[in-house]
Structure 1
Amino acid sequence: MATAASSSPQASRPKAQIGLISCVAFGVGTTVGGGVFTLSGTAINIAGSGAVLSYIIAGLVMALCALSFIVVSTRAKDGESGYGPVGDILSPFWRFVVMWAFYLNGATIIAYLVDSFGDYLGEYFLPAIGTLTLALVATVVVTALNLGPTALVAKAETWIVGIKLALLVLFAVWGITELKPAELERPLPEGTGGIFSAAALLFTAYTGFNVITNMAGSVKNPRKTVPRAILLTLLVSGVIYLGTVLAMTASGITAFSATGVSQAAEIVMGSWGGPLVAFAACLSTLSGANANVLGASEIMLRMVARGDVPPALGRQTNHNHPYVSVLLLGVITVVLVFLNDTTFVVSIANVAAILAMIIVSVAAAVLGFRKWPGKGARLPLGPVIPILAVLAAASQLVSLAPAALITGFLLTGLGGALYLARHNQRGGAGDRADANRQIDDLNTPLMRAAKTRRAGRTAGAHRFPSRPAGS
């Protein structure tokens, strides 16, 4: 993959402040959560030892889509999200559909993360309290965190990501050393088809990198930093997933519960392993839910700034917390938690993510046909890789349950109808101006959290020149 040369930035425009480490930390922190602590057990139940192949297939499909995201997002203007160029390449409507689909993806992922938190906390630490109650408490905690001091949350998030990765690596290495060839040779529970069904379910396990796309226009040297951050996020997450599944396979368990990783740890590492991994799971799922609230709120603010959704959704407190968006995510999470069907919720998240991936890959293919105009990353073979990404992403839809497909398409279509209705109305200039000002100042909750993570540097708002709403 080559990157087009860029000219020197104008002296009047200060450089964005978010660096590679912050991007990767957010990407990995958002990605490695329910995708390993909840979905790994489900994947093994469906595909057996073939779950390793399921994670690889899902990762390869996502890697193809990620290349499309890279060539599109690196063409974002200063202060613009990485989805912005879709509006220039295709149309503003399709840019909105991508953003709306990822908002849906984030909202549904929050629900299955707090569900997973309730499962692990209830199973290993608070058995007297029901998992539903614990999931609802987690929803309240995450909602309250996102109405409070972002800097404190960001500092805690850095430690949480480090702890959970360290414990998962310990479990993976320990388990792989115990792995016997016979465990990999057992019959697959649902045959070869189970591998592909599990791969479709695991698609959302890799979608955390889109938080990097959210802030692509506010990243230091984005044409180098964004591609590296996205690919590093996928690589680190993939290695963690594969190591975890192999360690779980080494346990010899063939049917995992919702707390499958801890189940396996008790056998592989001893009785102390289960609670230790459960502790990591509680930290990971809670921090993952928090990161998804940050990412989804960022998308909502940018949709408000463009006038794509009702401006009331962008209303903020005096301390610049988008309380309406955060509370809306809390309500959505509560509704989905009461459904008590994690697989259905994850499948809806997958439908939304796949639709977004297809649209972005189409935009990348258009750039390829046009010989990669503008400043930004380029791919070899012209539009071939983005076209393969479209086909690979679309192929995942056929393995999802019809009810989830219908629900996902209806919710995405609802967003399209909302967009068309909004652009036939006027009003809300004040809320749009507030959202634009917050984005221009790199003062959204996500941006404040990202800047807080910059090691050894002082966080602060650096203002870009004002730009019209909808840029």
Structure 2
Amino acid sequence: MADGPRHSIGLVACVAFGVGTTVGGGVFTLSGTAINLAGSAAVLAYALAGVVMLLSALSFVVVSARARPGESGYAPVGDLLSPVWRFVVMWAFYLNGATIIAYLVISFGDYLHEYFIPVAGTLVLALVATVLVTALNLGGTDAAARAETWIVAIKLALLMLFAVWGLTELRPHDLDRPLPEGGQGVLRATALLFTAYTGFNVITNMAGSVRDPRKTVPRAIMLTIFISGAVYLGTVLAMLASGITTFTSTGVAQAASIVMGPWGGVVVAFAACLSTLSGANANMLGASDLVLRLVARGDVPPVLGRRTRSGHPYVSVLFLAAVTVVLVLVDDPTFVVAVANVAAIIAMIVVGVAATVLAVRGWPGEGSRLPLGPTIPVLAVLTAASQLPSLDVTALITGFALTAVGTLLYAARQNERGGHGRQSDATTQIDALNTPLLRATRPTPTPPSR
């Protein structure tokens, strides 16, 4: 059956938003942190984190492929486990997006302060970026979001230029460095880099609104993982070629200044500013879209879905902005990333369990299947859970506590609603591809109804 007008989101738009959400602070700031922790083994840490995320991504592929038209790709989790677990996954990714926004605007402030506006401090610039991203998500235009494909292309081109240039300068002794913190440093770096690959969750969220989702969604998720992984590995190798052993928060531009010359540092810093700001915008779009879907299902109070005339969920946007401001003022980017990782890992574990149930049942229904029965989903659960012990205890407590708060909100809402019913207004908006995220990803604007 041909796809109807509701299914107008194609592969390029999916990959652009997936890569755009993924390749941000994960490369421009975390690369330096990874090398500081693991030395040349940062390459191994990125590879290990990529393998862990790939296993989880395969679980997401088979689960999201069972989504019905118009639904989020997380909806089948509710069928396979229970509605509360579907909510936990969506809420955890909402928390992940909320915390990642703060990390990205801090990274933006670091690069802008270091290379372009030294008179303004990082925190001030991060707060300015927060105001800008908030304004974009409250405004009546989706132009910034629609430009995401071009922004992704520009930043990837500049990063690949640096990577290729750096690889020509790489020598064997650059890879023969002692591990700064031994094997423990590699494990810590791997756990920290877990969030560097989150981003495909945006694709999963809009799976039910994608053209030919059973083919497009798996391809988009796999392409997002592989493109991001290639960019990360190339960037780290180029950074090692610089000979620097300890990097600052603007490590990629710091390395580019040595490998390519001063102009290279400025070019990469420009790419970093563009990438982190667009990444923050993409994460706010994705998180707000999640809220609208939660409201549509009646999982959270309708007030969270209140929208402007142009359809922007202003309550959610303002809440995300407030969370971002608090986390920026905390001024501990590593803690912010760790909390984001905890939320993502919780979601990965639940989806892995859902995929395991699907495998045990013999992969019923149409959609993707995995070889070896439940082996891959079980490995996904175990490898994701194995990252938790390497994370900061305070971050672990915070991440689980915030997830629990959301679950209590869900339980209270179910009691209030009597366990059934939907918020039809938000449902209609999603069905018409009229959320800000879906409007940004469809190829052409939908004419206003008369």
| TM-score computed with the length of structure 2 as normaliser | 0.97
Task: Compute the displacement of 1:73 (Å).
Answer: 0.3
Query: Once the two structures are superposed, what CA deviation does each residue of 1:186-229 show, in whole Å capped at 9, x if it has no partner?
Result: 10101112111100000000001111001100001101000000
Which one of 268, 280, 299 corresponds to residue 289 of structure 1?
280
1:439 corresponds to: 430
2:185 aligns to what SS in structure 1?
A: helix
Which one of 205, 218, 223 corresponds to residue 227 of structure 1?
218
- The answer to whether the 8 Å contact 1:314/1:432 transfers is no
Distance 1:382 1:415 in 2: 33
Task: Compute the displacement of 1:426 (Å).
Answer: 3.6
Distance 1:430 1:154 in 2: 32
Which one of 90, 107, 110 corresponds to residue 116 of structure 1?
107
1:43 aligns with 2:29: no
2:445 corresponds to: 459
Which moved further from structure 2: 417-426 or 44-53?
417-426
Task: Compute the displacement of 1:430 (Å).
Answer: 12
1:109 partner letter: I
Task: Compute the displacement of 1:15 (Å).
Answer: 5.7
- The answer to whether the 8 Å contact 1:150/1:445 transfers is no
RMSD: 1.6
Distance 2:248 2:174 in 1: 19
1:327 aligns with 2:318: yes
Q: 1:194 to 1:15 in 2, by over 3 A?
A: same
Which one of 133, 137, 141 corresponds to residue 146 of structure 1?
137
Which moved further from structure 2: 286-295 or 150-159?
150-159
Q: 1:14 to 1:319 in 2, by over 3 A?
A: closer
Q: 1:67 to 1:431 in 2, by over 3 A?
A: closer
Distance 1:118 1:214 in 2: 29
Distance 1:400 1:93 in 2: 26
Q: Where does structure 1 lack aligned partners over 5 or more consecutive residues? A: 1-7, 464-471
Q: 1:167 to 1:84 in 2, by over 3 A?
A: same
1:55 aligns with 2:46: yes
Task: Compute the displacement of 1:156 (Å).
Answer: 2.5
- The answer to whether the 8 Å contact 1:54/1:196 transfers is yes
Which one of 43, 68, 92 corresponds to residue 77 of structure 1?
68
1:417 aligns with 2:408: yes
Distance 2:421 2:358 in 1: 36
1:21 aligns with 2:7: no
Which one of 285, 304, 318 corresponds to residue 309 of structure 2?
318
- The answer to whether the 8 Å contact 1:80/1:217 transfers is yes
1:262 corresponds to: 253
Aligned residues: 448
- The answer to whether the 8 Å contact 1:312/1:431 transfers is no
Query: Once the two structures are superposed, what CA deviation does each residue of 1:221-243 show, in whole Å capped at 9, x if it has no partner?
Result: 10100000000000000000000
Task: Compute the displacement of 1:269 (Å).
Answer: 0.4
1:97 partner letter: V
Task: Compute the displacement of 1:154 (Å).
Answer: 2.7
Q: Where does structure 2 lack aligned partners over 5 or more consecutive residues? A: none
Distance 1:151 1:430 in 2: 31
- The answer to whether the 8 Å contact 2:6/2:433 transfers is no
1:381 corresponds to: 372
Distance 1:81 1:399 in 2: 31
Distance 2:300 2:11 in 1: 31
Distance 1:318 1:155 in 2: 19
Query: Once the two structures are superposed, what CA deviation does each residue of 1:376-415 show, in whole Å capped at 9, x if it has no partner?
Result: 1111111111001000100011110111111111111111
Distance 1:149 1:50 in 2: 46
- The answer to whether the 8 Å contact 1:311/1:431 transfers is no
Which moved further from structure 2: 334-343 or 146-155?
146-155
Which one of 383, 394, 408 corresponds to residue 403 of structure 1?
394
Distance 2:321 2:283 in 1: 12
- The answer to whether the 8 Å contact 1:306/1:432 transfers is yes
2:188 corresponds to: 197
Task: Compute the displacement of 1:159 (Å).
Answer: 2.0
Task: Compute the displacement of 1:432 (Å).
Answer: 2.2
1:26 partner letter: F
Which one of 164, 172, 195 corresponds to residue 181 of structure 1?
172
| TM-score computed with the length of structure 1 as normaliser | 0.93
